């Protein structure tokens, strides 16, 4: 058998010059980087070359498979529901490609639990200007996402969900994700598709619904690119035996009225209590219906679980099982600044990217690997696009624990919103549905 030997300079050069990496080269890079045999500078250079040159579908499939193989693949097929002995779990999960104010996982998981699903959710931290579910949930005092495999299995049977740090699942993604976050290499179709799908294939779900974002606050801005991303991910999931489908959803404007860590948990609690912003409720329910359908859960009504409080009960049980205190006060940055309306009229579009960057500047995200985020950092959006505005009233309030961050964050908002005489053009929140 031929023995291949590889070296990083040749692999980087191949991709830098627009070549195609061989299967063996991809397997070697992922294994060598995961085990610390490739320098961070070399992997950064390769990620930038991939960012600039892209990858073929064959390269993406192999890169993803190598990332899955970099760790273990969980299997919950032996588990049975504790409330219906003998019945297998209806395993189903959701993942978003990243947005601003995208707190949807937090109300969605309990809704699906209340409908009889079992959600093994390997969740991520913030990436670039987008927030991460783990950073948000860890703002609940005591909550931990570092839970054992035994605990994940027990929660799936007894509660219907576990939300955990990917840990030993796709460890290559953990390292590459952290490196992309600080090397401006996040906005890459091959790197997003392989990152999302390696975790989701490894986490042991049987069905998966992807929320693929489109617009200024998404990593991929155009509908054509996002559509291609959704199709690529659906194909990757299907090839690995996971029933996968995707929604294409608008991310030109932030979701809901809050962006940040604890402030998004607070808004999610409003949704679970039967209220909350219309767009957050609409997307939560659309994704819940897709998840229930993909998992074969018939005759359930996700909206009813918000009305009758069963989703809220599930959320509280989930938080408590993972060490959190569902009754504890949520943190809010000690320093704040408010942006007021310069005139009366109607709120125009609010640019999601600018809001994401402002909140990142407030301390809700990271600028160095492993940095601790501020749980209390975030923004309240008092007037959403199309709402009436009175001159002088608050439009945005920004919160942080470090007051020197406020000026930079406020200046990110310059030119990112307007108050006018006419309401902005309405866009549908859910643009399309892509199935295998």
For ligand URA, the closer CB: 132 or 348: 132
From the list 188, 194, 195, 226, the catalytic residue is 195
127 binds ligand URA (CB under 6 A): yes
Distance CA 436, CA 425 (A): 32
195 binds ligand URA (CB under 6 A): yes
Nearest by Cα to 288 from 134, 152, 90, 425? 90
Side-chain-facing half-sphere of 267: CA atoms under 13 Å: 28
From the list 199, 243, 257, 289, the catalytic residue is 199
Strand partners, 91: 118
Q: CA quadruple 231, 236, 237, 241: dihedral positive or negative?
A: positive
Active site residue 125: no
Among 120, 124, 160, 190, binds ligand URA (CB under 6 A): 124
Location of structure tokens 């397997």: 27
Contact indicator for 284, 155 with CB cutoff of 8 Å: no
Q: Show contacts with ligand URA in window 272-301 (CB under 6 A).
A: none
Distance CA 24, CA 176 (A): 19
Distance CA 75, CA 206 (A): 9
**Crossing angle of the two packed helices 8-16 and 23-34, in degrees rounded to 10:** 130
Active site residue 10: no
171 binds ligand URA (CB under 6 A): no
Nearest-approach distance from CB 51 to ligand URA, in angstroms? 12
For ligand URA, the closer CB: 51 or 396: 51
Stretch in the footprint of ligand URA (CB under 6 A) among 189-197, 206-214, 286-294, 378-386? 189-197
What's the CA angle centered on 201, arms 195 and 204, to 5 degrees? 135
Token pair of 56, please? 């073929």
CB-based contacts of 257, cutoff 8 Å, min separation 6: 267, 277, 380, 381, 382, 384
Distance CA 155, CA 185 (A): 35
Stretch in the footprint of ligand URA (CB under 6 A) among 6-14, 187-195, 203-211, 312-320? 187-195
Stretch in the footprint of ligand URA (CB under 6 A) among 1-9, 62-70, 191-199, 366-374? 191-199
Residues that bind ligand URA (rule: CB under 6 A) add up to a total of 8
Active site residue 199: yes
For ligand URA, the closer CB: 70 or 195: 195
The length of the chain is 436
From the list 93, 173, 181, 351, the catalytic residue is 173
Token pair of 296, please? 């074969």
HEC-encoded secondary structure of 50-102: HHHHCCCHHHHHHHHHHHHHCCCCCCCCCCECCCCCCCECCEEEEEECCCCCC
The DSSP secondary structure of 101-136, one letter per residue, reads S--THHHHHHHHHHTT-BEEEEE---BTTB--HHHH
Among 92, 100, 156, 196, binds ligand URA (CB under 6 A): 196
Among 64, 97, 258, 284, binds ligand URA (CB under 6 A): 97
237 binds ligand URA (CB under 6 A): no
Nearest-approach distance from CB 321 to ligand URA, in angstroms? 24
For ligand URA, the closer CB: 59 or 349: 59
204 binds ligand URA (CB under 6 A): no
Contact indicator for 42, 12 with CB cutoff of 8 Å: yes
For ligand URA, the closer CB: 156 or 192: 192
For ligand URA, the closer CB: 110 or 124: 124
Nearest-approach distance from CB 270 to ligand URA, in angstroms? 25
Among 65, 70, 92, 98, binds ligand URA (CB under 6 A): 98
Q: Show contacts with ligand URA in window 243-272 (CB under 6 A).
A: none
Nearest-approach distance from CB 188 to ligand URA, in angstroms? 8
Token pair of 352, please? 């999601």
From the list 175, 180, 243, 314, the catalytic residue is 180
CB-based contacts of 10, cutoff 8 Å, min separation 6: none
Active site residue 173: yes
Active site residue 216: no
- Residue, CB closest to ligand URA: 195
Stretch in the footprint of ligand URA (CB under 6 A) among 61-69, 188-196, 226-234, 264-272? 188-196
Provide the binding-site residues for ligand URA, judged by CB under 6 A: 97-98, 124, 127, 191-192, 195-196
Catalytic positions are: 95, 173, 180, 195, 199
């Amino acid at each position: 058998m031929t023995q291949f030997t590889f070296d990083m300079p040749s692999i980087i050069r191949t991709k830098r010059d627009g070549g195609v990496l061989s299967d063996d080269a991809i397997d070697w890079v992922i294994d060598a980087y995961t085990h610390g045999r490739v320098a961070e500078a070399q992997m950064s250079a390769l990620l930038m070359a991939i960012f600039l040159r892209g990858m073929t579908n064959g390269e993406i499939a192999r890169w993803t498979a190598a990332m899955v193989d970099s760790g273990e693949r969980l299997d919950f097929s032996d588990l049975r529901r504790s409330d219906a002995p003998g019945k297998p779990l209806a395993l189903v999960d959701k993942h978003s490609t990243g947005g601003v104010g995208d707190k949807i996982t937090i109300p969605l998981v309990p809704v699906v639990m209340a409908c009889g699903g079992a959600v093994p959710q390997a969740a991520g931290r913030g990436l670039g200007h987008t927030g991460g579910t783990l950073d948000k949930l860890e703002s609940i005092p005591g909550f931990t996402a570092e839970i054992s495999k035994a605990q994940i299995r027990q929660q799936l049977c007894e509660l219907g969900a576990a939300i955990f740090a990917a840990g030993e699942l796709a460890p290559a993604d953990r390292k590459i994700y952290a490196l992309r976050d600080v090397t401006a290499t996040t906005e890459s179709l091959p790197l997003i598709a392989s990152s999302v799908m390696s975790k989701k294939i490894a986490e042991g779900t049987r069905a998966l619904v992807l929320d693929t974002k489109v617009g200024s606050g998404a990593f991929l801005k155009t509908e054509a690119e996002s559509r291609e991303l959704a199709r690529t991910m659906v194909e990757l999931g299907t090839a690995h035996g996971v029933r996968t489908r995707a929604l294409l959803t608008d991310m030109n404007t932030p979701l809901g009225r809050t962006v940040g860590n604890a402030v998004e948990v607070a808004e999610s609690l409003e949704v679970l209590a039967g209220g909350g912003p219309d767009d957050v409720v609409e997307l939560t329910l659309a994704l819940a219906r897709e998840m229930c359908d993909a998992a074969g859960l018939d005759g359930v009504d996700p909206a009813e679980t918000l009305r009758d409080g069963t989703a809220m009960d599930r959320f509280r049980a989930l938080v408590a099982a993972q060490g959190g205190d569902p009754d504890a006060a949520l943190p809010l940055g000690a320093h704040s600044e408010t942006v007021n309306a310069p005139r009366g009229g109607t709120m125009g579009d609010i640019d999601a990217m600018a809001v994401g960057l402002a909140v990142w500047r407030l301390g809700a995200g990271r600028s160095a690997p492993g940095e601790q985020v501020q749980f209390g950092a975030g923004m309240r959006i008092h007037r959403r696009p199309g709402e009436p505005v009175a001159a002088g009233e608050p439009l945005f309030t920004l919160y942080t624990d470090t007051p020197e961050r406020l000026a930079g964050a406020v200046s990110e908002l310059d030119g990112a919103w307007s108050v006018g005489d006419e309401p902005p053009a309405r866009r549908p929140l859910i643009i399309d549905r892509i199935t295998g």
